[in-house]
């Protein structure tokens, strides 16, 4: 009898495993989203990315786009490096890409800094006179300072990140967290919004997010980070068995108060800094980016903060989201493109470490200048067009 029962259990487990495998993994998104099922862990061949085999067998039209991107790079070593990041099947923004990225063969000479797993705290880095990055090797937040308060772009994963990374690192830099006037969120995912509720509660800063991502955020089941989000690791650590009763449901985590709905072209003014928000639908329905004026050695330089590299889900998102913000940025003569996940856009960990450690360096490798940044954007554009052609969009 016991043998028959065990055999039946084994058959049931095997059937469940087969059904689970047939169901497939959830779709992958941009960047490593901790505590979520949608983090990019190398989801090659997903609905949004061609496989390596498809890339190798690209159509003549796709090859035209790749050749155009390569021609735009020319003999510029930084742009050649960027071409190598973006013109491949993965688009350069998968976690394995970030964990293996090198450095350009340009001046100043940099030491490679691949993103380790698990992520390691980097802390606060001064990149320009009024501009800082605070975070770990997987995700961070941008801080823009003025003579009358600060703007924070994204808030990392969780309340713990806000308490133990963002606030302490600001204080080490001589910056007062209570001077944060606005928090701007590139999109609703918890690795970008996780620390928002705590910062809003402590500082009174106004939260800014696009209407459609506010709706998604407020309807979602959690706030961000790893607390109270799944039992697998805890069960293994404590020796908990499958027959143990489930724990009592955790109290709902608090959410940010909805303050401001971001709109395309909206400006935020804090003291002597005016930031301009642009819609970049694609990664999420309400994704946004922002152009901010940074100061470096007596001069002002507009830079573009995007919320995703080239995570395009369809042609409509490409035209109405990514191309829209890229074209607006070109009009504003931006001189750099960065995002909260390092090691995809210009904010390589190797670059940010160099700038912070040598601040102010004679040559800031994060500044490409307007003409080279336009070429950079057009490399991203053509590499993305090649992937879309391969996918039949």
Task: Summarize pLDDT for 132-146 with one digit per residue, the tens.
Answer: 999 999 999 999 999
CA–CA–CA angle 393, 214, 228 (5° rounding): 100
Stronger pLDDT, 221 or 378, i.e. the higher one? 378
* 228-260 exposure pattern, b = at least 16 Cβ within 10 A, e = fewer: bbeeeeeeeeeeeeeeeeeeeeeeebebbeeeb
- Rounded CA gap, 277 and 264, in Å? 6
Nearest CA among 132, 134, 133, 44 for reference residue 90: 44
Rounded Cα distance between 284 and 131, Å, is 26
Does residue 360 have a cis peptide bond before it, meaning omega lies within 30 degrees of 0?
A: yes
* End-to-end Cα, the chain, rounded Å: 58
- pLDDT on residue 373: 98
Is the pLDDT assigned to residue 10 strictly greater than 70? no
Contact 348, 356 (CB under 8 A): no
> Residue 293: is its pLDDT beyond 50?
yes
Question: According to the model, what pLDDT value does residue 251 have?
Answer: 66
Q: How confident is the model at residue 47 (pLDDT cuts 50, 70, 90)?
A: confident
CB 277 within 8 A of CB 185: no
At residue 105, the pLDDT reads 97
Which pLDDT score is estimated for 4? Answer: 43
Peptide bond into 108 cis (omega under 30): yes
Among 38-52, 86-100, 190-204, 224-238, name the one with the lowest average pLDDT: 224-238
Q: In the prediction, which pLDDT does 223 show? A: 58
Residue 296 DSSP SS3: strand
Give the per-residue pLDDT at 8: 43
The answer on pLDDT for 23 being more than 50 is: no
Average confidence (pLDDT) over 349-378? 98
Average pLDDT score over residue span 155-182? 98
Beta-bridge partner residues of 184: 153, 208
List, for residues 217-256, the tens digit of each pLDDT value: 999 886 543 333 222 333 233 333 334 455 555 666 789 9
Q: Contact, 358 vs 114, CB < 8 A?
A: no
> Residue 192's closest CA among 244, 153, 230?
153
What's 177's DSSP letter?
A: G
pLDDT at residue 18 tops 90: no
Cβ proximity of 29 and 83 under 8 Å:
no
Mean pLDDT of 187-192: 96
45 burial via Cβ count (<10 Å: 0-12, 13-18, 19+): middle
Mean pLDDT of 169-174: 98
Angle between helix 323-331 and helix 370-391 axes, rounded to 10 deg: 170
Residue 372 above 60 pLDDT? yes
Percentage with pLDDT > 90 across the chain: 77
What is the pLDDT, as a whole number, of residue 246? 55
Token duo for residue 367: 């500044």
The pair phi, psi for residue 96, each rounded to 5°, is -60, -35
pLDDT for 81-119, tens place per residue? 999 999 999 999 899 999 999 999 999 999 999 999 899
Q: Where are the alpha helices (DSSP H) in 89-166?
A: 95-98, 159-161
């Amino acid at each position: 009898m016991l043998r028959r029962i065990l055999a039946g259990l084994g058959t049931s487990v095997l059937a469940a495993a087969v059904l689970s495998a047939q169901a497939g993994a959830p779709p992958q998104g941009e960047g490593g989203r901790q505590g979520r099922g949608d983090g990019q862990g190398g989801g090659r061949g997903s609905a949004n990315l061609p496989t390596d085999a498809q890339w190798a067998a690209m159509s003549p039209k796709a090859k035209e786009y790749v050749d155009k991107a390569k021609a735009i790079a020319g003999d510029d070593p930084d742009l050649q490096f960027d071409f190598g990041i973006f013109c491949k099947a993965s688009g350069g923004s998968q976690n394995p890409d970030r964990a293996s990225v090198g450095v350009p063969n340009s001046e100043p000479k940099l030491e490679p800094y691949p993103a380790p797993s698990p992520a390691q705290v980097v802390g606060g880095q001064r990149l320009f006179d009024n501009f800082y990055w605070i975070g770990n090797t997987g995700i961070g937040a941008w801080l823009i300072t003025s003579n009358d308060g600060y703007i924070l772009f994204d808030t990392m994963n969780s309340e713990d990140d806000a308490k133990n990374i963002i606030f302490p690192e600001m204080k080490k830099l001589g910056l007062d967290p209570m001077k944060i006037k606005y928090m701007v969120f590139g999109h609703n995912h918890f690795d970008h919004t996780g620390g928002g509720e705590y910062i809003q509660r402590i500082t009174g800063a106004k939260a800014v997010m696009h209407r459609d991502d506010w709706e998604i955020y407020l309807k979602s089941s959690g706030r961000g980070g790893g607390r109270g989000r799944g039992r697998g690791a805890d069960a293994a650590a404590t020796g908990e068995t499958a027959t143990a009763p489930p724990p009592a449901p955790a109290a709902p985590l608090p959410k940010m108060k909805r303050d401001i709905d971001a709109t395309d072209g909206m400006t935020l003014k804090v003291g002597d800094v005016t930031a301009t928000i642009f819609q970049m639908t694609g990664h999420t329905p309400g994704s946004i980016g922002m152009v901010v004026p940074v100061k470096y050695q007596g001069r002002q330089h507009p830079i573009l903060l995007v919320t995703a590299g080239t995570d395009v889900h369809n042609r409509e998102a490409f035209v109405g989201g990514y191309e829209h913000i890229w074209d607006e940025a070109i009009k504003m003569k931006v001189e750099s493109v960065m995002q909260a996940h390092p090691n995809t856009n210009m904010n390589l960990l190797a670059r940010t470490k160099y700038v912070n450690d040598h601040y102010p360096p004679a040559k800031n490798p994060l500044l490409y200048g307007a003409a080279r940044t336009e070429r950079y954007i057009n490399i991203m554009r053509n590499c993305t067009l090649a992937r879309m052609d391969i996918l039949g969009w």
